[in-house]
Homo-oligomer: A and B are copies of this chain.
Amino acid sequence: MELERVELKNAYRLLGHGPTVLVSTTDGKAPNACAVAWCAPAGKNPPRFVLRIGERHKTYQNLMAAGECVLNVPTRDALDEVMICGRKSGHDGDKLAAAGIETEAAKEVDAPRLSCCVAWLECKLVGKLELQGSGLVLLEAVLVECRPGVMRDDGHMDVERFPTLHHLGGGVFSVPGSVVVHE
């Protein structure tokens, strides 16, 4: 499939509506991914994102060691993959291979992309925010691609065609229904 490049200055438009992402990393031996609902844009230019990732997670350790990751944007079709990435620990072996979750090479980072997703934000770690034990990481996107049609011609994500997952708790997510436009 021919992917579309998303301009870095528009990267925030993939995450500003608050979807859960899958954060993929590698320790140089095996790929890994975890589900992160607590994620928000933190700047347009440079395109930055702030995430809360548990410090004991394999993802956090890989991110600190390699300094990079991919923010993969799943839709409703990838609900099973999101739950596997969210519930299984990367410390217990290669959960992606065990579950048959396909990966492919990214272009600017060694962390893999997850094929089940519809947009990929390849990111470098900018820093770790230690204040008050907040455990937040700050990322900067260096290359962003999406499936054809994910970004509409008007520059907004087409969430009606590509319904993202928004975490309500446990295994429960809302998906976008309609789009409202203020005149």
**Chain A: residues with CB nearer than 8 A to chain B?**
12-13, 16-19, 37-43, 48, 50-52, 76, 79-80, 82-83, 126-127, 129, 131-132, 134-136, 138, 155-157, 159-160, 163, 165-183
Docked complex Cα distance between A129 and B52 (Å): 14
Do B43 and A168 have beta carbons less than 8 Å apart?
no
Do A13 and B168 have beta carbons less than 8 Å apart?
yes
Docked complex Cα distance between A19 and B176 (Å): 11
Docked complex Cα distance between A173 and B176 (Å): 10
Docked complex Cα distance between A179 and B170 (Å): 12
Residues of chain B within 8 A of A138, CB atoms compared: 131-132, 134
Residues of chain B within 8 A of A174, CB atoms compared: 17, 159-160, 176-180
A50 to chain B, nearest CB (A): 6
Do B52 and A41 have beta carbons less than 8 Å apart?
yes
Choose one: B42, B52, B126, B136; the contact of A38 (CB below 8 Å).
Answer: B42
Residues of chain B within 8 A of A16, CB atoms compared: 37-38, 167-169
Instruction: Determine the residue in chain B with the shortest Cβ distance to A19.
Output: B18
Docked complex Cα distance between A155 and B177 (Å): 22
Do B180 and A76 have beta carbons less than 8 Å apart?
yes
Docked complex Cα distance between A156 and B80 (Å): 20
Instruction: Determine the residue in chain B with the shortest Cβ distance to A36.
Output: B40
